[in-house]
Structure 1
Amino acid sequence: MRCWRSVPGTGFNAALLAFLCGADNVTSLDVDPELTRRAQRALKASGQQPHVVCADGASGWPPNAPYDRIIATCSVRTVPLPWLEQTVTGGLLVIPWDTPWCNFGTLIATKRADGTAEGSLAPYGSFMLLRAQQVDAELRGDIPHEGQAPERSTTSLSPWSVAGNDLDAQLHIGLRVPGTWHAWDTETQGAQGVHTRLWLADVEATSWASVDYDGRQLSTFAVAQYGPRRLWDEVALAYEGYVAAGRPGVPRHRLRISPDGSGTRHHVTLS
């Protein structure tokens, strides 16, 4: 069984795979030269010497392809096309999944004869994001910009329902509201009569929203939304769908990965 994985780090996972599959059948990649050298030294000392390559993991490693398994130890928001192309039909892609909203869940997908892959998510598996996909804009002092006039309203949906401890809800929202992230602000809003604020923004910093708790009552919350997307409305609609579907756990979410030009796209369904 030929395996490819990213990234080596200490080499521990690569050593386990080499023991199970044979060192010649394991290729391990990392873009950082020092991490690669460290892994090579550790693996040599362990007596297991799989192929360790300093290269961008997003491109896979064509010289040793195709692979029966691709196992990522970084998370992704879209599956790199080379990973899909370098997996044999019937092979597995085991990939921690990330959305800007929630880094939670691992995709276990089977490559199909038509060039697509499909599988369900498993709980846990939070990892740092693949370097090539670290493109989020952040809310800083100039976002929102001075002079912007947001649309104001109220909501009865608690911000803690969508961005609290319910990771099933957070994963569902992350999949249904693409390119949107959130952050809690409990430090800077006191002068405005706000106890706690939930910020939402898209990764391109073109739209934002805020939901305010006044520190007194939990029946209504003040909402402000700005930009071409009404982010809070999108999140609220996704949460309504989550509740209507019976509050589906992580394993009920299935992803179908398809080639799309130079990349891939994914389609989400519930089982």
Structure 2
Amino acid sequence: MISARDRAEALIQELSPLDRRVADAMRAVPRHLFVPPVALASFDGEDARVIDREADPRDWWDAVYSDIPIITQLDDGTTDLRTASGTSTSSCSAPGIVARFLELLDPEPGTRVLEIGTGTGWTAALLSHLVGAANVTSIEVDPVVAERAAKNLSEAGFQPHLIVGDGAQGCASRGPFDRVHVTCGIRTVPYAWISQSRPGAVLVAPYSPGFQSDFQLRLVVTPTGVAQGRLPGLASYMLMRSQRAVPGRQPDETENKHHLTTRIDPRTIACAPAGADLAIGAMTGLTAHGSDEPDEDGERHRIWVSDPHDPDSWAVAIWRPDSEEYEVVQIGDRPVWEEVTDAYFRWVDWGEPDYDRFGMTIEPDGQRIWLDRPENPLPGPSPTGCLSGN
């Protein structure tokens, strides 16, 4: 059987080129020590399936040392992993994206790090190797996940400072921090992370506005207490619990639906590039996802658009072949489909910029997305839901 050391080395070579320090950390912190005996893995885009160290050890080891996420919890722990059915709510993230975030973070020995989302403990261990365990503070909201992570870390020989609580609050008593490493998707950056960091501190996080594409975010804290930076890549993570969208609500039989039509092919929005997704999400505050599934009338594609804070405001646009116009079903009075298409064509007017031309600024009163430079903020949604600004 292939040794864990050889498997780790093969994975590092697969991920190369890597920063030398990150590669050394991955050699020093074996991933298999942080993956439970039973978990879920998805190879080559297939549906997630059970991996069981006892029943099929080779399959388990192959999964653990592949560049894929390993799902370790479903539905906040209420669903048995063996069912392989439910919403993923905790995982050991894919090694490739973990390495890229650590490279963006660029910690030095002795750097004081705040980590949001301990998860299995693997990234806390990697950070402990990079900066020293005494300099790592890791916060996990789920007590069961936190207890398991503490056990994993102890058995692996690392003792970072672990906290069970809401990571959005940070940990002022352990600051000021030089780095903030976020391992869960966020729609908004809590200002506590900025206020608890020293000037020059770097924050990296998966920015997950929810409009189809999710992004890597890297911010630098300035002496004025403002943080700003750009979105250097793509990254999809599970959302921080306190920032999850409100679940949508299906209308009852007596509720009015607005049956509309559009000349815009719904796939124009559903298949738009990541730069468009970022701009539309920033300008409207809406979320979206698409689905391909035929019905009794044959082929169709649907894109769902919704207000993450209001379960009564959403719409679905439906593509069918050979259509002159396309059906839009809207629930609520907010014209969400019209907002989305208006924002898309604003993005087109700007020359269709890709996501790496956008950036973010965080201030005590909130965050804003800008194009090319901080002095060029995107218009945002007004209280009425319509776009404001130029």
Does TM, scored on the shorter chain, surpass 0.5? Answer: yes
Q: Which stretches in structure 1 are left out of the alignment for 5+ residues?
A: none
Shift of 1:235: 0.8
Mapped partners of 1:166, 1:120: distance in 2:
17
CA displacement 1:200-232 (0-9 Å, x = unmatched)? 222203333232223324x53233445332111
Contact 1:196 1:215 in 2 (8 A): no
The count of residues paired between Structure 1 and Structure 2 equals 261
- 1:139–1:198 Cα change, 3 Å: farther
Aligned AA (1:228): D
- The 5-angstrom pairing of residues 1-271 of structure 1 reads 1-140=111-250, 142=251, 146-150=254-258, 152-155=260-263, 157-164=264-271, 166-184=273-291, 186=293, 190=296, 195-203=300-308, 204-217=310-323, 220-260=325-365, 265-271=366-372
Shift of 1:130: 0.7
Contact 1:162 1:173 in 2 (8 A): no
Aligned AA (1:112): T
Shift of 1:74: 0.4
**% identity of equivalent residues:** 34
Mapped partners of 1:241, 1:196: distance in 2:
24
Shift of 1:103: 4.8
Shift of 1:87: 1.2
Contact 1:4 1:27 in 2 (8 A): yes
Q: TM-score, normalised by structure 1?
A: 0.86
Mapped partners of 1:12, 1:39: distance in 2:
8
Contact 2:191 2:362 in 1 (8 A): no
- 1:222–1:114 Cα change, 3 Å: same
SS of residue in 2 equivalent to 1:42: helix
Contact 2:257 2:329 in 1 (8 A): no
Mapped partners of 1:105, 1:245: distance in 2:
20
- 1:199–1:146 Cα change, 3 Å: farther
Mapped partners of 1:33, 1:224: distance in 2:
41
> Bigger relative contact order, structure 1 or 2, given CA contacts below 8 A and separation 6+?
1
Contact 2:249 2:312 in 1 (8 A): no
Q: TM-score, normalised by structure 2?
A: 0.61
Counterpart in the other structure of 2:64: none
- 1:158–1:34 Cα change, 3 Å: same
Shift of 1:266: 1.2
Mapped partners of 1:94, 1:150: distance in 2:
41
Aligned AA (2:277): Q
Query: 4+ residue stretches of structure 1 with deviation over 6 A?
Result: none
Larger strand fraction of residues: 1
